[in-house]
Amino acid sequence: MSIAAEIRKEAEAKESARRQRGVENYRAMVRTTAAGTKRPSIHDIERTAADASKTIGDFTADVERQEKRIGIAARFQKIPTQRAKLAELRQAIEAQDAVLAEAEAKHAEAVGPLVAGANELASQIEQADALKQQLIATADPEVIAAIDAAGEEHLQADTAVRQARQEIEIARGNGSEQLLERYAGRPGFDSQHHERIVADAKAAAERLPDLEKTLIDAEARYAQARQKLLEP
């Protein structure tokens, strides 16, 4: 090999080693910058990028890409811990499911007879109307007559109470007593009409306590008469 060839080979090796160092220095600066360890100056970036045949634009793009990789790697490194925690949670869920299944089985065992009994009673109660109709159909005529009479008495007593209360409310509603005090004797005012309303209301108010007592007694007799339908 000639001397020129040897010099060229040695120079190329030296240049290759220099470029390799430049690339390694560039990569190291990208990593430290992306990690936030150290922010290099623009001058250092330009020099290091130039040694690696890169530009500042290449450097910022590489730093952004490395930052994303750091974030992804941080998330990825958490996966083993997350998997272990997930396994614990699933085991806890399975344990609680087992507790629930056992409780549901005990509940079903305890409630089954209760539900059956409740359904039977509900069915019997639903037949009450039919049974009542049968009692009415087979009741003694004297019992039916007593019920009808008590029902008529109750209806009359209730009507009397309602009528008395209505007369009182009419007098209160149109203010007849106040109108008499204010306008009695004035031309065009029908004093007789309002006097009649007031008198009827006062009479109804006097009768009302006795009427209400009569209604209560009639209700009791009517209920007692109907109760006889349920007797054998």
pLDDT tens column, 71-82: 998 898 999 999
How many beta carbons lie within 10 A of that of residue 67, not counting itself? 15
Give Cα 56 to chain centroid, integer Å: 59
Mean pLDDT calculated for residue range 147-175: 85
The predicted model scores a pTM of 0.42
Predicted pLDDT of residue 164: 87
Cα→Cα distances 143→40, 49, 131, 227, Å: 112, 117, 17, 10
pLDDT of residue 177: 62
Q: What is the pLDDT of residue 36?
A: 86
Backbone angles phi, psi at 93, to 5 degrees: -65, -45
Averaged over 98-124, what is the pLDDT?
A: 88
Query: In terms of Cα–Cα distance, which of 179, 182, 214, 226 is closest to 198?
Result: 179
- The pLDDT, as a whole number, for residue 16 is 61
Encode pLDDT of 201-210 as tens digits. Answer: 788 888 889 9
CA 30 from chain centre, in angstroms, equals 55
Q: What is the predicted pLDDT for the residue at 226?
A: 86
Between 36-40, 101-105, 195-199, the lowest mean confidence (pLDDT) is in: 195-199
Task: Give the span between the Cα atoms of 56 and 142, in whole angstroms.
Answer: 117
